[in-house]
Amino acid sequence: LTYHYNNTTAEQCTVQKEGDYCQGFILFEIPFKYQDNTNLSIYFGTTHLGIGLNGLQQLDEAKQIVQWVTDNIINVSTNPYIILMTGDYNSIPSDDSIENVMLSLFDDLWTAEDICQKIIDPSNINGYTLDALNPSKRIDYIFILKSSNFPDQIKLNCKIQVVSTLSSDHRPVTLNFDLS
């Protein structure tokens, strides 16, 4: 298990709201051998992007995540991998931070029905996550990236769901998956 953490200092932030800090993200690598002795890695990451400045802060922080993943995993790793990146992005799907940055590298598992089965609550067919009591927008995500050398014979089977609960101010996005 390998732990990666990316956090910039306040001086490195190009966009910052008064009293806020640059957000980082945490990423765990779980390396393992698949049944045929193929070396694989699954990375689990999460973040909580800042809020404010008309989306500029989220855009800057999303760019930092994509750049870090590109520099430290995509351009370095020789083994096949899957990256699952989760979190509160404080951005709706059409915001630049999601549409033009995160989706430039990752797939959004909520909308990628060819990758993952969606379990839909009839009272929340759009997968809205905020606020928990009366959800009206989707700002929490699970993104996926499979390496280009990921073996075709290994299939990702997954189910994604937004759970109706009041345990937080957001409704959680859950993912159940296995490799076969």
Task: Determine the pLDDT at residue 3.
Answer: 55
Task: Determine the pLDDT at residue 79.
Answer: 94
Query: What are the phi and psi torsion angles at 89 (to 5°)?
Result: -95, 0
Task: Determine the pLDDT at residue 50.
Answer: 83
Task: Determine the pLDDT at residue 21.
Answer: 57
Topology annotation, domain 2-179: Deoxyribonuclease I; Chain A (3.60.10)
Whole-number Å distance between alpha carbons of 115 and 151: 15
SS3 call for 56: helix
Task: Determine the pLDDT at residue 12.
Answer: 52
Tens digit of pLDDT at every position of the chain (180 positions): 555 555 555 555 555 556 555 567 889 999 999 888 989 999 999 999 888 778 888 998 899 899 989 999 999 999 999 999 999 999 999 999 999 999 999 999 999 999 999 999 999 999 999 999 999 999 999 999 999 999 998 999 999 999 999 999 999 999 999 998
The domain segmentation of the chain, as residue ranges, is: 2-179
User: What are the residues whose beta carbons fall under 8 Å from the beta carbon of 162, sequence distance 6 or more?
Assistant: 110, 121, 124, 127, 128, 129, 135, 171, 172, 173, 174
Q: Which of 159, 160, 158 is nearest to 171 (CA)?
A: 160
